[in-house]
Amino acid sequence: MSMDLRTQFLNYMTLHRFSRHTQKNYILVLKGLTRFFNQAPDSLSEEQIQEYLLYLIEGKKLAWGTVNNHLCGLSCFFKNVLKWDETRFKIPPRPRIKKLPSTLSEEEVMRLFDVTTNLKHRVFLKTVYSAGLRISEAISLRPKHIESDPSRMMIRVEQGKGKKDRYTVLSRSLLPELRAYWKKYQPGEWLFAGQNRKKHIGPTSALQIFNTAKKKPVSPEAGVFIR
């Protein structure tokens, strides 16, 4: 791929506010195509693109989600940089099967709290569930987002889903534990800092907290019944 086409593609994605991750991913997708045929992308035909996608599906046995990511990146480039007509991509994405997310019962949520003895982990889980936060929202909380004035009792969520700010409730039962957590850990910039205190915990670590709690047995004194 010539530097000029690469620059055009990057400029398009930057102007349309594609994330850095998506930009990097789409450039790698385009490089994979050009290396497969050892040709510049503007010299390829739609039949060659379909051949490449079939190779990803049947030759490399990639999951459809991965293939669909390749298709999205190629479609973005050929339609917006090379100005291909909409009809030239003849392989439609596989329809997504929407599944309802599994939800925990109140007893199961309480069990997670009971078996989590690490104060930081327990407060993190309680903050997620009591405030109805997404993982990405919880790990991005800063101490200033906790508005504990009795007249407010709110948690400010910045740049949540849809890049929108919002407020959610600060549970009165959570507040004492947040204060105990603050006293013990003295978090700085981030409410839930990682090992590097200049950064918040990552989503993988956050999910590990949840998964570890799920696997722990219930202590006999907890008295929590799980269906």
DSSP secondary structure string for all residues of the chain: --HHHHHHHHHHHHHTT--HHHHHHHHHHHHHHHHHHTS-GGG--HHHHHHHHHIIIIIS---HHHHHHHHHHHHHHHHHTS---GGG---PPPPP---PPP---HHHHHHHHHH---HHHHHHHHHHHHHT--HHHHHT--GGGEE--TTT-EEEE-S-GGG--EEEE--TTHHHHHHHHHHHH---SSTTB-SSTTSBPPHHHHHHHHHHHHHSPPPTTT-----
Query: Is residue 225 over pLDDT 50?
Result: no
| Domain boundaries along the sequence of the chain | 3-88, 106-215
Calculate mean pLDDT across residues 176-205.
91
Please give the single-letter amino acid code of residue 142.
R
Q: Which of the four pLDDT bands, split at 50, 70 and 90, describes residue 220?
A: very low
Q: Yes or no: say if 146 and 191 are a contact pair by the CB < 8 Å rule.
A: yes
Q: What is residue 102's predicted lDDT score, i.e. its pLDDT?
A: 63
Q: Given this model, what pLDDT does residue 89 score?
A: 63
pLDDT in tens, 68-88: 889 889 989 999 999 988 776
Would you state the pLDDT for residue 218?
Answer: 60
Q: How confident is the prediction for the chain on average, in pLDDT?
A: 84
pTM over 0.75: no
**Interval 128-175: pLDDT, tens:** 999 989 888 999 999 999 999 988 899 999 876 667 788 998 999 999
Question: How sure is the predictor about 221, in pLDDT bands with cuts at 50, 70 and 90?
Answer: very low
Domains 3-88 and 106-215 fall in the same CATH topology:
no
CATH class of 106-215: mainly alpha
Closest alpha carbon to 202 in 117, 124, 119, 109: 124
**Alpha-carbon distances, residue 26 vs 21, 29, 30, 76, 84 (angstroms):** 9, 5, 6, 8, 17
Predicted pLDDT of residue 112: 87
Residues 6+ apart with CB under 8 A from 105: 227
| Higher-scoring residue by pLDDT: 11, 3 | 11
Query: Could you read off the pLDDT of 208-218 as tens digits, one per residue?
Result: 999 898 888 76
Show the tokens assigned to 48.
């060659």
The residues near 61 (Cβ < 8 Å, ≥ 6 apart) are none
User: Domain spanning 3-88 has what CATH number?
Assistant: 1.10.150.130
